[in-house]
Structure 1
């Protein structure tokens, strides 16, 4: 139980506060897109969440619900990843302390939201209503890279999808045991995280559309507006 509630303690709150002084742990030439040939993993996963009426997003509909769940970071598979952040912080620039769960161990990793998307792309039959955000890894993270999470509605059909895109590579890891474990299982765990998280968002979205209580971030006993996610439905 103690290990399950690590993110609820003052130690985690202090670790989150320390992220303010950390910088992104990699650099790319301006406008450069990472490639597999340069040693980066380049990923993309698309998951159909639900359908609603064609046209603009419906208040309380599939797109609206999925956007809230993504905004609150409720979709990660909790067996692989949990997170702590300050809910009053603006989304853009927000620091998040991730707790990676790997082979019974726990790893704290910092990320910062560096982009927010809210736009209509294209027109007519190719139009897409897109909302989402992306984070980059900070110093001390086991990986280097960026992940984007976006909810997309196609006004022509009413289909609502979840899109995960990003690039990553292993960061320098001093601990030889952790380094060896990450080399053996890190990529497999990463792919499993993408699939499981997309499935979880689909299940949460559909459950709420059928009347389940909304999933809400769980307040941390450490105070200061800190919340732990993901949480169960109805948690405040």
Structure 2
């Protein structure tokens, strides 16, 4: 459980009314000054060349990515409604730093399922991108994708993002983000890559919705002793 059910339900309801919290015309690729731009890649393994194998590495990795199982629960957890389409899904993210817990909203605004040209030939790609919503402590777009090189069989997990700090009214959070935000962000990327590769050794079942119809991911995460300290960002 991320936070008491009534607060979580209220926030998910509220997210549908929140816009993206930055202008895309003033963000990469049009504008790069002032933005962090990241690309993290990890080879997950290989399949036989050609289209993905049913039930194989690529397909399994894609399922884990779509259900947000790769996230390191010590840093970031998610909650979203079920059933619902992946595209357009609003999610509450619970950031966790030391004894602090804070809630932020994002929306999946792009879903990827295509074959495209890559540096080593055609690639089959699945995944999705989310953008930050009004009230999030960051601004930007983050893409998670699983890619198979059809000519070589190589399967990769890629995290591609641009981001910058958003306006933070709380002075304690603002100072903490200035000191530790970027470091924690990069640690999350590294941990997500390694966690997905580890999960592929024994894939868990997809996370199931609770009685309230809300999925809490990754599955198996338990509340910490300081759960009551959750801060709701940007009402």
Q: Give the whole-Å Cα distance in 2 for the aligned partners of 1:72 and 1:13.
A: 19
Q: Does the 8 Å CA contact 2:40/2:189 hold for their aligned counterparts?
A: yes
Q: d(CA) in 2 for partners of 1:124 and 1:193?
A: 27
Give the Cα–Cα distance (whole angstroms) in 2 for the partners of residues 216 and 128 of structure 1: 26
Among 113, 124, 128, which residue is 2:123 paired with? 128
Which structure 2 residues correspond to residues 63-102 of structure 1 after superposition, within 5 A?
63-102=58-97
- Residue 34 of structure 1, CA deviation: 5.4
Q: Corresponding residue for 1:190?
A: 185
For residue 87 of structure 1, report the CA deviation from its aligned partner: 2.3
- Give the Cα separation in 1 of the matches to 2:68 and 2:128: 10
Unaligned runs of 5+ in 2: 222-235
Out of 14, 32, 42, the residue aligned to residue 10 of structure 2 is 14
Provide Cα deviations, 1:163-221, integer angstroms capped at 9, x if missing partner. Answer: 0001000000001111000000000000000000111111112323xxxxx33214224
Q: Deviations over 1:62-93 (max 9, x none)?
A: 00001111111111000000010012121111
Q: Equivalents in 2 of 1:193, 1:157: separation in Å?
A: 29
Would you identify which runs of 4 or more consecutive aligned residues in structure 1 move more than 4 Å? none
- Cα deviation for residue 32 of structure 1 reads 5.3
Partner of 2:214: 226
- Match of 1:23, SS state, is coil
Q: Which runs of 5+ in 1 are unaligned?
A: 209-213
CA contact (8 A) 2:71 2:77 kept: yes
Q: Counterparts in 2 of 1:1-236, with a 5 A limit?
A: 5-7=1-3, 9-29=5-25, 33=29, 35-36=31-32, 38-122=33-117, 126-208=121-203, 214-221=204-211, 223=212, 225-232=213-220
RMSD over aligned Cα, in angstroms?
2.0
Count the aligned residue pairs. Answer: 221
TM-score, normalization: structure 2?
Answer: 0.88
